[in-house]
Chain A
């Protein structure tokens, strides 16, 4: 990029000090209005420019409105244009002023000069004043029939503008039909393209109200229409081609011959210099060949070169947009790109967001033949002075190690990172070594030798510290100093700010104790005491849990805390395949750049009805029977920290839902069919009397004097909800997947309420009044589906509800998921009472 322009700043347009200048302008304009003297137009131009420059810097010049209009009665097109710009700016907020201009614009719509006709029509349609729409119909109708293509072009968009001001006026005047006629007949390609865009928008918006519009919209995807556009594709300019190609990508050809015909026709579009045209074409190719595996793969091979060329030409911004798409394809079919890995090497001057994509691509394409070179390249980045880049590179090396064959060499490299003695490198590497050990326990000997040399004082980042502590506990028997390092860490308990680290410390010291009791006893006592006194709920609970566990039976404790290790075979993917497919469906859109399907970042009204119904299909990922959900969570819950091995799952219990690193749900509880937390799980196995007495005994032993029993559960009736609770759909979906179903009920509702279902917004609005918020809704009679969300007042604990209403049987299926499962019954009652009040007013 060129260096930022430090150009001399132009003197900003003189700021009028007060109203003086504006009234001065008004005077001068008035004098000129009637003048026919030569050179008047030039003077007018100067004055008009002044007015507009005031307008753009936010000074109110609406007082010269009538003078401006008067002065515009001229044939000077530059003056006209400036006046139109001015009028467009003020008419919307001053309907009275707008009325004044209607006359003059309508007259201009009949001007001899097609430019003036077009411009006047555009301005007329842009006024956007609802009570003036009647004046639009005539000029628009004439515009669509105008002999000049510029006027028709403007009129085609004008119809859409009218629709936005007053849909009924537009539809009643039969403009959509006129547009359709024009679209299929007009000689001018830009007129055709404008008709298409206007019609797509109008029919999409109308489709919810009128079946005919829905049919018309479908008809755009019919074979004759699609072929009509395809045969004219080269007449369109590059932007219109994008619109046509987007339409074609939704078309479903009837057989493979048709597919090949279309692809051959569009083949040369892949060599277009405009990236948007190329990506639209690629979308057509990819979507049409989805069911033809061989051809689909050929398409990947074919589009590789054009994509790489686009990435390396054009501005960095454009290349980023294309690279994001390449990234998506590489992630879908890494093997096709495995020989192109050199293209994904990072350049030192690329922005971080580009490097990050490239690192992910390098990770994905690594295979037997190229791993050595890729890892060598990545190691160069690790030494990079750019810290975020170094971290990402280490993670990339680690990921390759976790998916790879030649682990041996990679482990050596990782261990070399530890010897670099750069704090961020050490920290990042420790986290990876931990994950690596969980997958390849056989490497423990080599790793532990190196890790043992790291001074815990040089490790400050919580994640890294937690990883180191995990290794100290896990490999206590192999690391000579383990108990003593843990002991020194426990001595500094109060200075340890991260709850995650303290939790790990508790577990590690337990593991260490079970293996080397004499050396660790003191440290364990100190850790438990500190843990029980900890202000953090999870730390406190875990310490107490271990403490009681030890009291109960050490062999049980051994079984729970230190069971035989099972190597993790596959680490969980961070995104479900459904989401990935959704993003792929939305190829050539922002979804690819954001790596999220559109429903996660686009407001409902901008999504269009198709996306709306699909969204439900997607949200319901987690709505299988409860036991499936649990199984799925076993994998998904661990996204954040690259999975816990099966034997460690107890660890996650304590800090399931508090937003700490492991977002594991308490599913042990749900597998036993009860919804208690793990603490209770243990006490279930023993008579409560024993429990109470033993804990009393220990309390006295330690002199802690803590309450023997948990405080009374909050009264269900006292459940209050936060009226202003919010959650983004993304977070909702994630939570929905993570939490187990805590309550599932079938109920009936008032048929009068069902009758009100015809208005899709009625129920969400009603529930909102009860502080229960709708996240997504959809479906068609008789089955409606809603996702609701509520939050406890003054607490972050949330409730998620899936509600399926059958309007013919008046039956409702409820599925409730909750952070705090003990209150889900209370919430369910609250929800049902709110629902039962939903009747027609």
Chain B
């Protein structure tokens, strides 16, 4: 049972506020924001997503820089509340096309209308865009997406990749196109977040792939869809011996440790031909989440070296090698490395003649940042940095610096080799063949090399 729901901007402005039960004081949004902002005096520690203050429980999730908050006085399931907040954000995004402070403010009447149908007297009624369509009547006022910086997972597809119809993902599920007819299309995104930890000698200590098959349908009439996955896909590691299979570059079965499915998914034929069938509801939703600990070839190898070079001086050499085919290009790469706290100055030595790279020393956090716009598969890049210290280091310099961490996005690549072999839309009579977009992308979740 939810007592209140509200959305706050980053500055703590109340954008949306709905009181369902009237048993929590009106000033809760302000109380909440102050608590979150000053969670710890030094501001370094983040407030946890759930906390209790004077008998009121506050739940919050951050979505595109906005705080979605719920309050209650009862001992509610935290998963339920947090899941709900995430879903509310998704429903609003489905309706408005784009979730931002501006779009919320412009559409606040629609948002309140949605909120009244999603929750009644604190009880969740539905969070399905499909169901809500029959109860909600306001038309969204579409905010010009081009004016806003791209945000959220959808933004992955908009970074300089012409093959992606960038505007589609910020298109409202309900709004009518200016041209009149809705474009028939469906998006299936295979998003994989990878976590890899390399030991100081370059071995993979741990690795994991957390994947999602995300779907967003703009098809009219809700036809049934069949998604065919790899023939050699297995769920659960128990049946197959876990070693002896090649990495991502090799062949062999794809083994998911575990997965879960959206409630619309039927798996009647899964064991026979590895297909999932579903009638996709309107809006964005994950068809399937999966987890893989099977070994795979990490997309980048990292070589990091830090050495003392006389007193009060040291040198850092970072080498990044892209271990994927040259037809693929990674973008927005950022390499970070904490430096010894007594570091005062850093001189960088980038590869001569290179473009789209920059290196910086963030003095306040004592951190080295090296950003690269893109890396083509198979290439290697090196950064040299000379450090100056204000005092002599005691002991081992490698204990004072590192680890090296990396973030990146690689479109059209997924290390698990999980594939959507085909996407079949049950035949509809007159309409032309709808557009189908199957897209792959890999992101770094935690990509760390110890030194």
Partner of A278, one of B22, B106, B260: B260
Return the chain B residue nearest A56 by Cβ. Answer: B108
Q: How near does chain A come to B127, taking the closest CB pair, in angstroms?
A: 7
Q: How near does chain B come to A197, taking the closest CB pair, in angstroms?
A: 5
Which residues of chain A have C-beta atoms less than 8 A from B448's C-beta?
A: 347-348
Task: Please encode chain B, from 244 to 266, with 1 for each CB lying within 8 Å of some chain A CB and 0 for all others.
Answer: 00000000000001111111000
A122 and B57 in contact (CB under 8 A), knowing A318-B86, A352-B45?
no
Which residues of chain A have C-beta atoms less than 8 A from B12's C-beta?
A: none
Which residues of chain A have C-beta atoms less than 8 A from B84's C-beta?
A: 239, 276
Q: Is the CB of B155 within 8 A of A2?
A: yes
Q: Is the CB of B80 within 8 A of A315?
A: no
Return the chain A residue nearest B200 by Cβ. Answer: A380
Q: Is the CB of B138 within 8 A of A78?
A: yes
Q: Is A713 an interface residue (CB 8 A)?
A: no
Chain A: number of interface residues, binned into ranges = 35 or more
Partner of A602, one of B75, B109, B259: B75
Q: Is B389 an interface residue (CB 8 A)?
A: no
Q: Which of B10, B48, B197 has the most C-beta atoms of chain A within 10 angstroms of its own C-beta?
A: B48
Which residues of chain B have C-beta atoms less than 8 A from A52's C-beta?
A: 108-109, 112
Task: Please encode chain A, from 661 to 703, with 1 for each CB lying within 8 Å of some chain B CB and 0 for all others.
Answer: 0000000000000000000000000000000000000000000
Which residues of chain B have C-beta atoms less than 8 A from A13's C-beta?
A: 105
Q: Is the CB of A275 within 8 A of B83?
A: yes
Q: How near does chain B come to A102, taking the closest CB pair, in angstroms?
A: 20
Q: Is the CB of B61 within 8 A of A315?
A: yes
Q: Which of A53, A280, A315, A342 has the most C-beta atoms of chain B within 10 angstroms of its own C-beta?
A: A315
Q: How near does chain B come to A192, taking the closest CB pair, in angstroms?
A: 13
Partner of B75, one of A242, A351, A388, A589: A589
Q: Is the CB of A82 within 8 A of B258?
A: no
Q: Which of B17, B50, B80, B445 has the most C-beta atoms of chain A within 10 angstroms of its own C-beta?
A: B80
Which residues of chain A have C-beta atoms less than 8 A from B338's C-beta?
A: 385
Partner of A122, one of B45, B120, B128: B120
Return the chain B residue nearest A237 by Cβ. Answer: B126
Q: Is the CB of A310 within 8 A of B127?
A: no
Partner of A10, one of B55, B76, B105: B105
Which residues of chain B have C-beta atoms less than 8 A from A85's C-beta?
A: 109, 112-113, 116
Q: Is the CB of A279 within 8 A of B79?
A: yes
Q: Is B320 an interface residue (CB 8 A)?
A: no
Q: Is A231 an interface residue (CB 8 A)?
A: no
A161 and B121 in contact (CB under 8 A), knowing A305-B257, A306-B258?
yes
Which residues of chain A have C-beta atoms less than 8 A from B66's C-beta?
A: 5
Q: Is B65 an interface residue (CB 8 A)?
A: yes
Return the chain B residue nearest A84 by Cβ. Answer: B116
Q: Is B195 an interface residue (CB 8 A)?
A: yes
Q: Is the CB of A128 within 8 A of B55?
A: no
A347 and B446 in contact (CB under 8 A), knowing A278-B260, A309-B260?
yes
Q: Is B382 an interface residue (CB 8 A)?
A: no
Which residues of chain A have C-beta atoms less than 8 A from B289's C-beta?
A: 273, 309, 313-314
Return the chain A residue nearest B54 by Cβ. Answer: A603
A321 and B78 in contact (CB under 8 A), knowing A315-B61, A352-B46?
yes
Q: Is the CB of A2 within 8 A of B78?
A: no
A6 CA to B11 CA in the complex, in Å? 11
Q: Is the CB of A588 within 8 A of B64?
A: no
Which residues of chain B have C-beta atoms less than 8 A from A493's C-beta?
A: none
Q: Is the CB of A56 within 8 A of B127?
A: no
Interface-facing stretch out of A130-138, A152-160, A565-573: A152-160
Q: Is B203 an interface residue (CB 8 A)?
A: no
Q: Is the CB of B52 within 8 A of A4?
A: no
Which residues of chain B have C-beta atoms less than 8 A from A273's C-beta?
A: 260-263, 286, 288-289
Q: Is the CB of B291 within 8 A of A10?
A: no
Q: Is A535 an interface residue (CB 8 A)?
A: no
A349 CA to B404 CA in the complex, in Å? 12
Q: Is A30 an interface residue (CB 8 A)?
A: no
Q: Is A601 an interface residue (CB 8 A)?
A: yes
A242 and B261 in contact (CB under 8 A), knowing A2-B155, A157-B121, A348-B405?
no
Chain B: number of interface residues, binned into ranges = 35 or more
Q: How near does chain B come to A273, taking the closest CB pair, in angstroms?
A: 5
A419 and B395 in contact (CB under 8 A), knowing A2-B152, A194-B123?
yes
Task: Please encode chain B, from 38 to 79, with 1 for each CB lying within 8 Å of some chain A CB and 0 for all others.
Answer: 000000011011101001010111111110000001111111
Q: How near does chain A come to B234, taking the closest CB pair, in angstroms?
A: 13
Q: Is the CB of B446 within 8 A of A2?
A: no
Q: Is the CB of A274 within 8 A of B83?
A: yes
Mark out the residues of chain B between 105 and 141 whose CB falls within 8 Å of any chain A CB in the assembled complex.
Answer: 105-106, 108-109, 112-113, 116, 120-121, 123-128, 131, 135, 137-138
Q: Is B450 an interface residue (CB 8 A)?
A: yes
Which residues of chain B have C-beta atoms less than 8 A from A272's C-beta?
A: 260-261, 263
Return the chain A residue nearest B154 by Cβ. Answer: A2
Mark out the residues of chain B between 278 and 295 whose CB falls within 8 Å of any chain A CB in the assembled complex.
Answer: 286, 288-291, 293
Which residues of chain B have C-beta atoms less than 8 A from A612's C-beta?
A: none
Partner of A239, one of B127, B151, B259: B127
Which residues of chain A have C-beta atoms less than 8 A from B240's C-beta?
A: none
A370 CA to B380 CA in the complex, in Å? 36
Which residues of chain A have C-beta atoms less than 8 A from B341's C-beta?
A: 385
A309 and B259 in contact (CB under 8 A), knowing A56-B17, A588-B77?
yes
Q: Is A586 an interface residue (CB 8 A)?
A: yes
Q: Is B163 an interface residue (CB 8 A)?
A: no
Q: Is the CB of A345 within 8 A of B394?
A: no
Mark out the residues of chain B between 341 and 398 whose CB falls within 8 Å of any chain A CB in the assembled complex.
Answer: 341, 366, 394-395
Which residues of chain B have C-beta atoms less than 8 A from A313's C-beta?
A: 210, 212, 260, 286, 289, 291
Q: Is the CB of A590 within 8 A of B128?
A: no
Q: Is the CB of A5 within 8 A of B151?
A: yes
Return the chain B residue nearest A587 by Cβ. Answer: B77
Which residues of chain B have C-beta atoms less than 8 A from A453's C-beta?
A: none
Mark out the residues of chain A between 237 and 262 whose CB falls within 8 Å of any chain B CB in the assembled complex.
Answer: 237-239, 242, 246
Which residues of chain A have C-beta atoms less than 8 A from B399's C-beta?
A: 383, 420
Return the chain B residue nearest A122 by Cβ. Answer: B120
Which residues of chain A have C-beta atoms less than 8 A from B148's C-beta?
A: 7-8
Return the chain B residue nearest A10 by Cβ. Answer: B102
Return the chain A residue nearest B147 by Cβ. Answer: A8
Q: Is A353 an interface residue (CB 8 A)?
A: yes
Q: Is the CB of B450 within 8 A of A380?
A: yes
Which residues of chain B have C-beta atoms less than 8 A from A383's C-beta?
A: 399-400
Interface-facing stretch out of A508-516, A591-599, A704-712: A591-599
Q: Is the CB of A317 within 8 A of B73?
A: no
Partner of B208, one of A305, A312, A591: A312
Which residues of chain B have C-beta atoms less than 8 A from A7's C-beta?
A: 65, 100-102, 148-149
Q: Is the CB of B291 within 8 A of A242?
A: no
Which residues of chain A have C-beta atoms less than 8 A from B434's C-beta?
A: none
Q: How near does chain A come to B132, taking the closest CB pair, in angstroms?
A: 12
Return the chain A residue nearest B115 by Cβ. Answer: A85
Which residues of chain B have C-beta atoms less than 8 A from A3's C-beta?
A: 65, 151
Q: How near does chain B come to A2, taking the closest CB pair, in angstroms?
A: 5
A12 and B105 in contact (CB under 8 A), knowing A242-B77, A385-B338?
yes
Which residues of chain A have C-beta atoms less than 8 A from B261's C-beta?
A: 271-273
Extra 11 A-B pairs, beta carbons < 8 Å, given A320-B48, A380-B403 = A4-B10, A13-B105, A126-B121, A273-B286, A309-B289, A314-B86, A315-B86, A317-B49, A318-B83, A385-B366, A606-B75
A residues contacting B by CB (< 8 A) are: 1-10, 12-13, 48-49, 52-53, 56, 77-78, 81-82, 85, 115, 122, 126, 128, 150, 153-154, 157, 160-161, 190, 194, 197, 237-239, 242, 246, 270-276, 278-280, 305-306, 308-310, 312-318, 320-322, 324-325, 342, 345, 347-353, 380, 383, 385, 388, 419-421, 586, 588-594, 598, 601-603, 606-607
In the assembled complex, 20 residue pairs joining A and B whose CB atoms fall closer than 8 Å, in A order, are: A10-B105, A157-B121, A194-B125, A237-B128, A246-B77, A271-B260, A272-B261, A273-B260, A308-B258, A312-B210, A314-B86, A317-B61, A317-B82, A317-B85, A320-B49, A353-B46, A594-B50, A602-B73, A602-B75, A606-B74
9 closest residue pairs by CB, A with B: A5-B65, A347-B446, A10-B102, A317-B49, A305-B258, A313-B289, A276-B80, A239-B124, A4-B65
